Amino acid sequence: MTLIVLCAGLADPLLAGVLNDPNTEARAGYLRVLGPLFLDAPLFGAGIGGFAAAGAGEYPHSLVAEVAAELGFVGVLLLLFWFGLALRGAARSPVLVALVVSTSVFSLFSGSLASNPEFWMSTALAVAMSPIRRGLIIPSLDRRS
């Protein structure tokens, strides 16, 4: 019983700390700017740099939200296609799957199109490992065959 009371007493300050965090408030403000940007041009978006041009900050700290506002529905579909290719390519390597998933989750909460090198590098590596490349004529270093 004492443990429950102690945990309940700790939950209030922790919850208040999260809710009053400037980052939480800023992200809510970013979403208030992103919504109208997307709704004004849902198919192709407001264009690269549209979020910064709206005066809300450099970037919204969410890759998907930024792509939706700046590149529209077409951009989101292309990003999802890229992510799907990356997962397919990474499927044979648990380490690569972990890299792709972890950098993708990170990109949902931080970074931008230009400032997510971990996401772009891990997904590019995974896409390069994709089985689609097997059909291409690529010189092999393996001379045994």
What percent of the chain is predicted at pLDDT more than 90?
32
How far CA 58 is from CA of 3, 4, 36, 91, 107, in Å, comes to 45, 43, 17, 34, 15
Flag the least confident range among 60-64, 75-79, 132-136. 132-136
State both tokens at 70.
């700046």
For the question of whether the overall pTM of this predicted structure is more than 0.75, the answer is: no
